Amino acid sequence: MKFFLDSADINEIRQMADLGICDGVTTNPTLVAKSGQDFKSLLNEIVRLIPGPISAEVVGLTAPEMLSEAEVLAKIHENIVIKLPLTPEGLKACKALSARNIKTNVTLCFQAGQALLAAKCGATYISPFIGRLDDVSQDGMQLIREIRAIYDNYGYDTQILAASIRHPQHVIQSALAGSDVATCPMKVLMSLYQHPLTDKGLTSFMEDWKKANQKPIV
């Protein structure tokens, strides 16, 4: 499974780059607004920190507007993936961009029919928002399972990018359901490392080692 960081915070991105588990980054207009940084200069910084797919979302609402923005964003770096909303205009733009081998991430997916359309339009990634479904008492994980089954039935190459992830169980369940990617806030990625018994075990190892008065390992 690939792990993407869902963030536009350059300090978080720098920290994740250092840990070596981050395969890419997804941004969205809300995250970019929160960063307070100029969008294009932010993307220029991110592509230098993470050598993987960097999703940059267009804000135009018609296909021509999206395509002209995509033109600008794609020029920044070959790792830029154009993020498009799951609307008729967004999928028109997706089809045009995939015909030109420009990678796309179709976002704001909440039901399997949308994911089927995105695959038919050649989307590189589909972003089902599992957390926002759970937030309204629907089953986000069921959507991942349905998309996986449909894509496998027809051999679609579109990669499932589980998004809107709220906690480590979303990551684990998405992996079990066969999602190709999970894009997570930093706190969720960091929580994947944690278990109290790991901390407890390491503490007792260190205490026992100290008691044994062993020579330093040099």
Residues forming the active site = 83
Which residues sit opposite 182 in a β-bridge? 3, 162
Q: How far is the CB of 96 from ligand G3P (least distance, A)?
A: 23
Q: How far is the CB of 6 from ligand G3P (least distance, A)?
A: 4
Given the complex with ligand G3P, which of 138 and 203 has the nearer CB atom? 138
Q: How far is the CB of 81 from ligand G3P (least distance, A)?
A: 12
**5-32 per-residue burial string, b: 16 or more CB within 10 A, e: under 16:** bbbbbeebbebbbeeeebbbbbbbeebb
Cα–Cα dist 163/143, whole Å: 11
Given the complex with ligand G3P, which of 158 and 164 has the nearer CB atom? 164
- Check: CB of residue 160 under 8 Å from CB of residue 151: yes
Given the complex with ligand G3P, which of 28 and 69 has the nearer CB atom? 28
| Residue for token pair 């480590």 | 168
Which stretches of the chain bind ligand G3P, using CB under 6 A? Answer: 6, 26, 28, 129, 131-132, 163-164, 183
